[in-house]
Structure 1
Amino acid sequence: MSEIVVVYELDKSVATHSSPDTPSGEERHIRKVHAAPATPGAPTPTGPRTLCGRDIFAMETARKPSERPGAPWYPVEYASVVCPDCDAVIET
């Protein structure tokens, strides 16, 4: 498989009460972690769609996937919200 970029599908911003010093703020919640094909030499790091076919317009680009052998392509702290369709494409 060619290079991929990890992108986050976010929930809408949610107002939270995180501390007494900050009575309200915005916290973003990651709904799904997707993979998108990298586009070398292009002005944007990814193409217009994820590997599962979702539009990435409103998604946030994350870090590059791990290059260590045996490491997952997604950040391990988000394993529970990995898109199963993107994961299946990468596994093939």
Structure 2
Amino acid sequence: MTEIVVYELDRPAGRRSSTGPAHGEARPVRRVHAAPAAPGSRTETGPRTLCGKDTFAMQTAGWKPSEQPGAPWYPVEYASVVCPDCDAVIEA
């Protein structure tokens, strides 16, 4: 698989709320996408996910499906937020 797993993160709030993450803390993952590698690279993400979203503001995951034989393409702990469109393309 030459796809790279990327995380779409929750947008930071305009103001910090007392219940939200403090400045500098990690933002929760909103959706897990797959993106093709950029042309000529095996480690850089291309400009769009498999479902067509822009990858510019997304975070590249450390998860490498090719290093996990038999595992799904996404980290198991994020199974509930996998993009169904990216998943359908990968499964096809």
TM range (shorter): 0.7 to 0.9
Is 1:6 matched with 2:12? no
- TM-score by structure 1 length? 0.77
Percent identity, please: 65
Q: Where do 5+ consecutive residues of structure 1 fail to align? A: 19-23
- TM-score by structure 2 length? 0.77
Is 1:25 matched with 2:22? yes
**Change in CA separation of 1:78 and 1:16 when aligned onto 2, cut-off 3 Å:** farther
* Distance in 1, Cα, partners of 2:35 & 2:59: 11
* Equivalent residues, number: 85
Q: Where do 5+ consecutive residues of structure 2 fail to align? A: none
RMSD, aligned CA: 2.3
More strand by proportion, 1 or 2?
1
* Distance in 2, Cα, partners of 1:82 & 1:58: 17
2:77 match: 77
Farther-moved stretch of structure 1 (73-82 vs 62-71): 62-71
